[in-house]
Structure 1
Amino acid sequence: MQTNIAPSTTPISGQYWEWRGHNVYYVQVGEKQPQRPPLLLVHGFGASTDHWRKNITGLCADFQVFAVDLLGFGRSAKPKLQYSGDLWRDQINDFISEVIGQKAVLAGNSLGGYACLCVAAQCADNVSGVVLLNSAGPFSESEGVKSQIQPPKNPSQKLLGKTVQWTFKQRLVQSLLFQYMRQRWVIRRTLEKVYLDKSAVTDQLVEEIYRPAYDIGALDVFVSVFSTPQGEKVDVLLKQLTCPLLLLWGEADPWMKARERSQKFHQYYPQLTEYFLSAGHCPHDEVPEQVNSYLRNWALSIKD
């Protein structure tokens, strides 16, 4: 029986799991359901389990729901490591094995979507299905297409480009940029750019992103994420994927051209299911009732 529960903005308390000697924060709500896979929700860059509060409360009557803070974000530890899709793939895969204890449906937003796709493609035994919400990640041909469109750079442009790259690799510049980006007003302005419904950008949401940005180690995480080489290409991962795939797109996302990316996903994984929503980069937080309904109905249809 389908149960509709209004999404709640009340923070949900969680607990810690130790992974590779580091504390990882997670939330677990709802009872284990026979014949229904549990859900594991994975946030995007700079966010945390808090970003899923409206979905956890909306889905926990029908599923056992987990949400986890990726290492380097939220309430999880922020050690000095090389942060990458491979690291988070291993974290999520081990979390399923050690904490959840059975195959799960993974749902990830932005960076979290890319991490979930890495798990689903490369650690298939732990995954029943994967849901990508405005998922990040590069496709192989993007650079090729870009180079065909853009005229060759002249020597002065190349030098300027290298100078800019060098400048952003300097610790002082990185520190100043991070100090700027983590101010409350900058966080709010950034969110208002990527949310279609500006009223969804609440003081609570700003605070949930602001707080972990002041943890010890947060600067090192920021630097590592933007300096680590790109991970496996999305098309390569899709060729390895064998489980059901649901795409949920906030169509007004200014960071991603949803329709264009959609075509690429269809090209490499045509058997997917897909919905476009009137929302920005974080549809799960902006239009949670719609996301919860699509996710619930799709997850209930999965046959292992």
Structure 2
Amino acid sequence: MTSLTSASIKPLTWMWRGFPIRYQAAGETGPAVVLIHGFGASCGHWRKNIAVLAETCRVFALDLIGFGGSAKPAPNVEISYTFETWAQQIADFCREVVGGSAFLVGNSIGCVAVMQAAVDFPDLARGVALLNCSLRLLHERKRATLPWYRRFGAGVAQKMLAFKPVSQVFFNSIAKPATVRKILLKAYRRADAVTDELIELILEPARDQGAVEVFVAFTAYSQGPLPEDLLPILPCGAIILWGTDDPWEPISLGKEFVKYPQVEKFIPLEGVGHCPQDEAPELVNPILQQWILEKSGV
């Protein structure tokens, strides 16, 4: 058994396109696995997984640019916050830090980012694991199917947030411990998983310069790929894990992904919400370990 703990795994810095990028690494041998967080999260959201996976793998958890401890350059001035950008970041990280191909694991929007990376850079993806994949229900193509009042409401909100004074007030109103706790208690089924530590993990990056601008840029991002665009053209196999009690990404819609031949397994996680890697690591870790080792032929 490993003597690693989440506290003993220190943050590291990698320079990408002149911007500092935070990541964590653990494990000396075995196949490489790269963990990608969801919206508003960071590599700390994998703190219950890294040490366990490092028993059999070389594990890397990466903060996407704009999130966590990574730089937050000005949107559309210094960088474009798109899945293509994040895919390029993941690919360059694999080449420059990991040293080659890896198993790519994502949660929420991180799933779309790892799929985009696999599609754009097939030589770097050995397999993809998707944990409660973002369905991107506010995407312009999906929004067209919503009732008119929901389409109208989403569009108005995006336009209002484009005004800096409005976005600053709105961001400040939600970047508070009580509000974050309330949001997480909706996303998580297990209330005891919503700890002060988790809330601080979410809030700390929100205090960085540029955090508001990144938040606005992503909430306005209604284009780009949908999961159903990327799954059928994946160059590698995929495994999907889905918390059955996710209030944001309904499992009933997620189950539609099993029709794609690239999806090797779809595993419901009973009584779990949107972030199963953090809420139920005792379920997720063994599944990921077994999948990686089987795909590696170990």
> Which one of the candidate residues 129, 132, 147 is aligned to 2:130?
132
Task: Answer yes or no: is 1:214 the counterpart of 2:207.
Answer: yes
Q: TM-score, normalised on structure 1?
A: 0.88
Instruction: Show the counterpart of 1:41.
Output: 35
Instruction: Show the counterpart of 2:159.
Output: 166
Task: Answer yes or no: is 1:10 the counterpart of 2:7.
Answer: yes
Instruction: Show the counterpart of 1:261.
Output: 254
> Which one of the candidate residues 49, 52, 71 is aligned to 1:58?
52
Larger mean Cα displacement after TM superposition, 245-254 or 81-90: 81-90
* CA deviation map 1:29-65 (0-9, x unaligned): 01032xxx21111111111111101100111111110
Structure 2: 5+ residue stretches without partners: none
* CA deviation map 1:128-171 (0-9, x unaligned): 00000011144899638825xx4x67xxx998776555333222
Instruction: Give secondary structure in 2 for the equivalent of 1:272.
Output: strand
Instruction: Show the counterpart of 2:26.
Output: 29
Instruction: Show the counterpart of 2:265.
Output: 273
Q: TM-score, normalised on structure 2?
A: 0.90
Partner Cα distance (2:84, 2:230) in 1: 12
Task: Answer yes or no: is 1:175 the counterpart of 2:168.
Answer: yes
Distance 1:161 1:221, change over 3 A: closer
In our comparison, the structure showing a higher alpha carbon Rg is 1
Partner Cα distance (1:118, 1:277) in 2: 25
Partner Cα distance (1:158, 1:252) in 2: 25
- 1:72 maps to a residue whose letter is G
- 1:94 maps to a residue whose letter is D
Instruction: Show the counterpart of 1:117.
Output: 115
> Which one of the candidate residues 269, 281, 286 is aligned to 1:293?
286
- 2:200 maps to a residue whose letter is E
Distance 1:48 1:162, change over 3 A: closer
Contact 1:14 1:27 survives alignment (8 Å): yes
Deviation at 1:11, TM superposition (A): 6.4
> Which one of the candidate residues 235, 240, 252 is aligned to 1:247?
240
Partner Cα distance (1:64, 1:71) in 2: 22
Instruction: Show the counterpart of 1:198.
Output: 191
Instruction: Show the counterpart of 1:237.
Output: 230
Matched residues, number: 291
Instruction: Give secondary structure in 2 for the equivalent of 1:290.
Output: helix
Instruction: Show the counterpart of 1:78.
Output: 72
Partner Cα distance (2:267, 2:248) in 1: 18
Deviation at 1:227, TM superposition (A): 1.6
What's the % identity of the aligned pairs? 37
Deviation at 1:220, TM superposition (A): 0.9
Partner Cα distance (2:282, 2:10) in 1: 22
Partner Cα distance (1:260, 1:25) in 2: 33
Instruction: Give secondary structure in 2 for the equivalent of 1:146.
Output: coil
CA root-mean-square deviation: 2.5
- 2:142 maps to a residue whose letter is E
Distance 1:74 1:267, change over 3 A: same
Contact 2:115 2:128 survives alignment (8 Å): yes
Partner Cα distance (2:4, 2:134) in 1: 25
Partner Cα distance (1:129, 1:181) in 2: 36
Contact 1:93 1:119 survives alignment (8 Å): yes
Distance 1:163 1:189, change over 3 A: closer
Contact 2:140 2:223 survives alignment (8 Å): no
- 2:282 maps to a residue whose letter is E
Instruction: Give secondary structure in 2 for the equivalent of 1:54.
Output: coil
Distance 1:228 1:104, change over 3 A: same
Instruction: Give secondary structure in 1 for the equivalent of 2:91.
Output: helix
Instruction: Show the counterpart of 1:143.
Output: 142
Distance 1:128 1:173, change over 3 A: same
Partner Cα distance (2:52, 2:109) in 1: 23
